[in-house]
Amino acid sequence: MSLTQPGPGSSTLVTVFESARAELEAESLRGAGGRTALERYADRVDAMLRQLFAEVAPADLHVAVMALGGYGRRHLCLQSDIDLLILFGGRIGTDEERFVRRFLHPLWDLGVVVGHQVRELDDFNRLETDNPEFLLALIDARPVAGARALFDGFSAKFHTPATHAYILKALLELIDQRHAAFNDTLYQLEPDVKDAPGGLRDLTATRTIALLTDPLLLRRGPADPARFDQAEDFLLRVRSTLHLDAGRNQNILSHEMQERTADLLGYPGAEPRQRVERLMSDYFRHARIVSRALAWARKTAPIPVGPNLGLSRDGIRFLDPIAAARNPTSWIGAFQAAIDNGCEVAEETLSCIQQHVDRFRADDFFPEERDRAALLGLLKPRQGLYARLSEMHDCGLLGRVFPEFQAISWRVVRDFYHKYTVDEHTLLTIRNLERIAHTDEPLRLRFRNVIESIARPELLVLALLLHDVGKWRDDDHASESERMAREVLDRLHMTGEAREMVLFLIRHHLRMSLVAFRRDTEDPEIVKDFSAFIGTEERLKMLCLMTLADVEAVSPGTLTPWKEELLWRLYVDTYNHLTQRYGDDLIERNQAGLDELLRQRPDDLSSEEITRFLEGLPQRYLQLFQPDAIYRHVRLARNIHPDEVHLSLECSDGIWTLVVATLDKPFLFSNICGVLASFGMDIIRGHALTNPNGLVLDVFSFIDEERFLTLNPDAHAQVLHVLEDVVSGRADVTTLLRGREQGVLRASSRFAPVVRADNEASGRYTILDIVASNALGLLYRISRVISRHGCDVDLVLIATEGEKAIDVFHITKGGSKLTEAEQQGLTSDLLRTLEGLQ
């Protein structure tokens, strides 16, 4: 088809279009180019486009034509652009391009100014943030021709809370910019009826704000909605006269045009000046109504903050309370949004929940995995958590989500210490934790640091929430709380380590205060026993914070600085015991606790095999790993020969875990760390264990920041292959790292590294405590220095807290602890290496 020739059927198009324009011109000339006339004109244009579409669109083409902006709102003025979106269901190819030409060319030939955008439906999978005007025009999108399903598909993708929030923000910025161009006043002698403050754009913006936030907003506004509509009709009638006279998209009501418009709109008066004054006083009156409505909407409109949730002046509200009442899974989101935005949940919303909450059972609030994750997410100890949980409790939601908690509502337990009902005591423990998490008090910063080092503090909050639910009974509340907590965890589908952690904390929530305040913690045996009981640093951290928060919630005076000090000292001593002395306590053949592990073993493992594997590993190993992991380790360590390495690599929640079983040799640990660094892997946690027979079991958790393992299909095999080569001596790790040396092994540091050697803590090992800025390859560098000094790396604990790497090495040289001189040589060498990294 020629680009200049009119397309098929264009002669009738001309007739349709010309007669539609003639009609609007006639109306405008009568001063009646208001809303009704413009809507009729838009309808006529719709009909014309549909006719054209029917003529040029192949039947099998998946396409829709949509009206945007003013045309979408059916306020199409005489000289306005006809804004269209041509939307294709699939990829745009030759057929699609041909359709676009065949559809647009006849319109251009008619002299229609078309503002067209062409998109594929999938383009709306992500928000186009570089063109806010286009996004605003899409708000008014209306299907004109083509596949209705495509329009629905677009609506589903486009109308999301996130998009709405973005558009609202962009709209408010555009309004400010536009008003600034008019010196922020509507009282212009020659106003632009479209762009000036109080003009048509402000009117549309007001409606858009309501649409995006609260559709009923304008009904509650300062002006009668009818007056708002009258203002609109007036402004449109004026604009129609301007378009009629100028013959182009001209919107300035100039002095010259004021006389003409006043005449066309039929203002009485003997003199032109009188007619103009009447017109202009009407203009300012209407513009003021628009302006005030916009100001009010900006001030009052809730900001969309989630599905069906808005942030208004009185807090988080359901935008559509009727829909919310039917959908209890959305309620938790209201409280989360309040925490995120540092505000309350509005009274109206709480009443809505209170009114409907009794219709639902616990499961109704979190039927899906993401709902359960959202509930746990809510429990992170952020500012406002206590206040939100209290609101949930007051409106009856907390007791529905956790019926177990309802059992202690207003429960009074008479003793000499407690000052509050059990439910309030419980919520106060959470408030205390929240306060510690944000404290700046010098003496409490140490506890704040502990909170910040916990991987999943929400588990601690869940444990606090449930720790006293067993107090509905009068005796032995801890075990009753644990029993009830199991039911909660079942409903939450919580399994594995997380479940064990919560139950452990609840069952033993009184234990640490007993030891700290009632036992002689200067006695190393007491600390040793407590360490054996607690097992891991993570449990210790959680139980310490739980104790602090719990004691403080008993009454205002219960937690004295004196008690805090006792608790902190037990924490430090136990922490040191766990990280520095565990190498002295090895698993023996008749170790307590082994029976259970042996009894539940899978068929392919014999008792003998498991015992042989475990014997001589630190006892701590049994507490660090769940039985399933231990069985996997036993299998991995089967039939290992010198120079062989058995590996497993798995990913869960974005964290990769590498397990290495092999026989010990010099530089082994450093070589493995070096290989991981050479692939850009950032090691965040780990344990290196050795048994007396030379079996090495290393478990590394690392983050694959460059997504090497995810993006490359054979990366998994490649990493394992290189590890085998390096461990067996077929490849050299320094060569692998050469390319990375420059960029990788450098970190920006905000604190000086600490290296400390200690021969006292452990009976067998010299303990090296290293705290330094985390960096890719850090462990490789450290362990290489250690190996170069001829030391054996027997046990390693690897931890990371934010930017900080905390590594504890248990080392020996020739089977003995290092001498004073050897320690000094090693630590100064290590410090040099670490300082060189900065």
Where does this chain bind another protein (CB under 8 A)? Answer: 517-523, 560, 562-563, 565-566, 569, 572-573, 575-576, 754-756, 758, 769-771, 806
**Amino acid at residue number 640:** I
Return d(Cα 580, Cα 767) in angstroms, integer: 6
Segments of 541-680 assigned E as strands: 645-652, 655-663
Return d(Cα 82, Cα 69) in angstroms, integer: 9
Give the Cβ contact number of residue 600 at 10 Å: 10
832 beta partners: none
Place of tokens 């923000």: 169
Q: Which is nearer to another protein, 238 or 567 (CB)?
A: 567
Q: Which is nearer to another protein, 349 or 579 (CB)?
A: 579
Return d(Cα 593, Cα 585) in angstroms, integer: 14
- Its sign, for the CA torsion 370, 375, 380, 385, is positive
In the complex, minimum distance from the CB of residue 519 to another protein, in angstroms, rounded to a whole number: 5
In the complex, minimum distance from the CB of residue 622 to another protein, in angstroms, rounded to a whole number: 25
Angle at 113 between CA 112 and CA 114, to 5 degrees: 100
* Three-class SS state of 196: coil
In the complex, minimum distance from the CB of residue 531 to another protein, in angstroms, rounded to a whole number: 15
Closest by alpha carbon to 365, among 392, 394, 338, 337?
392
Return d(Cα 780, Cα 69) in angstroms, integer: 60
Q: Which is nearer to another protein, 676 or 799 (CB)?
A: 799
Tokens representing 191 are 């106003």
The one-character DSSP state at 731 is: S
In the complex, minimum distance from the CB of residue 747 to another protein, in angstroms, rounded to a whole number: 17
CB 202 within 8 A of CB 175: yes
In the complex, minimum distance from the CB of residue 411 to another protein, in angstroms, rounded to a whole number: 29
Return d(Cα 810, Cα 757) in angstroms, integer: 10
* Three-class SS state of 771: strand
Q: Which is nearer to another protein, 516 or 709 (CB)?
A: 516
Q: How far apart are the first and last CA of the chain?
A: 68
All residues at 6 or more sequence positions from 146 whose CB lies less than 8 Å from its CB, including other chains: 53, 57, 63, 64, 65, 87
In the complex, minimum distance from the CB of residue 582 to another protein, in angstroms, rounded to a whole number: 16
Strands 303-306 and 142-146, bridge-based pairing:
unpaired
Tokens representing 209 are 């704000």
Closest by alpha carbon to 418, among 563, 549, 556, 567?
556
In the complex, minimum distance from the CB of residue 743 to another protein, in angstroms, rounded to a whole number: 28
In the complex, minimum distance from the CB of residue 571 to another protein, in angstroms, rounded to a whole number: 9
DSSP assignment of 482-529 = HHHHHHHHHHTT--HHHHHHHHHHHHTTTHHHHHHHHS-TTSHHHHHH
Q: Which is nearer to another protein, 568 or 631 (CB)?
A: 568
Q: Which is nearer to another protein, 358 or 415 (CB)?
A: 415
Q: Which is nearer to another protein, 607 or 824 (CB)?
A: 824
Q: Give the helix/strand (H/E) hosting 104.
A: helix 94-109
Q: Which is nearer to another protein, 211 or 770 (CB)?
A: 770
In the complex, minimum distance from the CB of residue 591 to another protein, in angstroms, rounded to a whole number: 30
Q: Which is nearer to another protein, 280 or 755 (CB)?
A: 755
Q: Give the helix/strand (H/E) hosting 797.
A: strand 792-801
In the complex, minimum distance from the CB of residue 523 to another protein, in angstroms, rounded to a whole number: 8
Q: Which is nearer to another protein, 293 or 796 (CB)?
A: 796
Longest dimension (CA), the chain: 115
CB 103 within 8 A of CB 65: yes
Q: Which is nearer to another protein, 42 or 830 (CB)?
A: 830
Q: Which is nearer to another protein, 745 or 770 (CB)?
A: 770
The one-character DSSP state at 748 is: -
Return d(Cα 752, Cα 837) in angstroms, integer: 11
In the complex, minimum distance from the CB of residue 562 to another protein, in angstroms, rounded to a whole number: 4
Q: Which is nearer to another protein, 560 or 816 (CB)?
A: 560
In the complex, minimum distance from the CB of residue 407 to another protein, in angstroms, rounded to a whole number: 33
In the complex, minimum distance from the CB of residue 477 to another protein, in angstroms, rounded to a whole number: 23
